[in-house]
Amino acid sequence: MMLAEAGVRLGVIVDRLSPETGELFPGTSDLVMHLDTDTLLSRYDAITVERDTMPDNALVNSLMASPKAAIERTMAVLPDRLTQKQLLDELGIATSPWLPGTALAQAREQWGNVVIKARRGGYDGRGTHFLRTGDAQPDADENTIVEATINFRRELSLLAARSSHGDMAFYPLVENVHRDGILNVTRAPAQQLAPQHQARAENMARALLEKLDYHGIMAIELFDCSDELLVNEISPRVHNSGHWTQEGATISQFEMHLRALTGLPLKPPEAKGFAAMRNLLGVAYDTGWLHRPGYVHWYAKEVRPGRKMGHVNFIAPDADTLARQMAAWRDVTET
């Protein structure tokens, strides 16, 4: 939906397709259409995804096999944490020490406290299990990887874009605060960064984008370990930690993604002062929010505990003003 909104300003038509049902939603409409695969492939100039994993069905396989889906190579590697880690190792990009899930006993002997992660489908804290020294050992599983527990200062992320012409653009590093494994707040740009971190993060992103011949926005989540950055996870799509760019940057991640896919020029993005995004988790919509500071973005989804129902963006000339704006939302908690 947010890609479709950005497309209107660029003169780019963005339609939404459910990969499970084949239902097609034109633009920002909620009207449902059905088009056969041949018509879909002839109608659109580019095919992209807005989530990390896709179902294995005839529709998805046909679309991903098209030259218009420049993301096929990326989706063959990044959604699986095992092949993602192998790619990072190949490129010499620093990440948490890891082993396949079947080597769990060896990992515990080497590192003590470890994290077990599902190879596919884990997000918002799902598919992640912390195992401490002395805990009973679960069965080894080839569908997982195991990582050493990292003592990190905070979590950061970088949005990077690469166009179909090979041009690149990078957003400033941002700081992410999670609650129960779910992103709660993003602050942009990240404050008190080590001088070398922005350049290091951009170099990591550049290597990944070029290796995968990727077109579009990619989000790279990082551990800030004071003197170094470690890659935690990679998402080949527009990302929740980039929602602040809608009002807080000179060009939103959604517009940048569409520019990259369609070969339009990539403008270097800049933050408009101090910005932040807060997720609205597991709450029902309240029109009273429209009297509060900030910009509300509502997703119109069915309310479920822990679900991202919408977000609020804040922008301010200084950190104190930003903090006051965000304080006005402290009472909005999950119902």
Same domain, 52 and 124: no
Query: What CATH number does residue 305 fall under?
Result: 3.30.470.20
Kindly state the percentage of the chain with pLDDT values over 90.
88
Average pLDDT over residues 37-65: 93
The answer to whether residue 109 sits within a structural domain is yes
Q: Considering the domain boundaries, does residue 241 fall inside one? A: yes
| Amino acid 69: pLDDT | 92
Q: Which of 75, 110, 139 is the last residue of a domain?
A: 75
Sequence-distant (6+) residues with CB within 8 A of 269 are 169, 170, 171, 245, 249, 250, 251, 256
Please tell me whether residues 171 and 280 are part of one structural domain.
Answer: yes
Mark whether 213 and 323 lie in a shared domain: yes
**Quick one: pLDDT at residue 137?**
86
Q: Which candidate, 308, 279, 294, 309, places its Cα nearest to that of 186? A: 279
Whether residues 176 and 222 share a domain: the answer is yes
Beta bridge partners of 210: none
How far, in Å, CA of 71 to CA of 75, rounded? 6
Whether residue 335 has pLDDT greater than 80? no
By the 8 A CB rule, do 231 and 94 touch?
Answer: yes
Q: How confident is residue 77, by pLDDT bands cut at 50, 70 and 90?
A: very high
Q: For residue 101, what are the domain limits?
A: 97-148
Q: Which two tokens stand for residue 185?
A: 């707040």
- Please indicate, yes or no, if residue 92 is contained in any of the structural domains: no
Is the pLDDT confidence value at 125 over 70?
no
Residue 110 lies inside a defined structural domain of this protein: yes
Residue where the block lists tokens 């190879």: 119
Query: Mean pLDDT in the chain?
Result: 94
Burial 80-117 (b: 16+ CB within 10 A, else e): bbbebbebbeeeebebbebbbbbebeebbeebeebbbb
How buried is residue 143: exposed, middle or buried, by Cβ count under 10 Å (0-12/13-18/19+)? middle
Residue 88 belongs to a domain: no
Decide: 290 and 257 in contact? Cβ < 8 Å. Answer: no
Check whether residue 167 and residue 284 sit in a common domain.
yes
* Average pLDDT of the residues in 310-333: 97
Gyration radius of the chain over CA positions: 20
pLDDT number for residue 199 = 97
Q: In 52-187, which residue ranges form alpha helices assigned H by DSSP?
A: 58-64, 72-75, 81-91, 104-111
What percentage of the chain exceeds 70 in pLDDT?
99
Residues 186 and 69 in one domain: no
Identify whether residues 69 and 174 lie together within a single domain. Answer: no
- pLDDT value of residue 285: 96
Cα–Cα dist 303/286, whole Å:
13
Domain with residue 124: its CATH number is 3.30.1490.20
Same domain, 108 and 188: no
pLDDT band at 138 (very low <50, low <70, confident <90, very high): confident
Domain identity same for 137 and 254: no
Give the pLDDT confidence of 241-269 residue by residue, as tens digits.
999 999 999 999 999 999 999 999 999 99
pLDDT tier for residue 278 given thresholds of 50, 70 and 90: very high
Residue 152 burial (10 A CB sphere; 0-12, 13-18, 19+):
middle
Count of structural domains, the chain: 3
pLDDT for 297 beyond 80: yes
How do residues 143-189 score in pLDDT, each as one tens digit?
999 999 999 999 999 999 999 899 999 999 999 999 888 999 999 99
Residue 124 pLDDT grade (very low, low, confident, very high; cuts 50, 70, 90): low
- Its pTM stands at 0.94
In a domain, 90, yes or no: no
- pLDDT of 229 strictly over 70: yes
Name, in order, each residue with C-beta under 8 angstroms of 322's C-beta and a sequence gap of 6 or more: 274, 275, 276, 314, 315, 316
Q: Same domain, yes or no, for 48 and 158?
A: no
Q: Is 139 exposed, middle or buried (0-12, 13-18, 19+ CB in 10 A)?
A: exposed
Q: What confidence tens digit (pLDDT) does each residue in 176-222 have?
A: 999 888 999 999 999 999 989 999 999 999 999 999 999 999 999 99
- The secondary structure of 286-318 as a DSSP string is -GGGGGSSSEEEE--PPP-TT-EEEEEEEEESS
Residues 208 and 249 in one domain: yes
For residues 184 and 263, state if they share a domain.
yes
Cα 31 to the center of its chain, rounded Å: 27
pLDDT of residue 81: 95
Residue 81 lies in a domain: no
> Is residue 55 assigned to a domain?
yes
Rounded distance between C-alpha atoms, residue 97 and residue 7, angstroms: 41
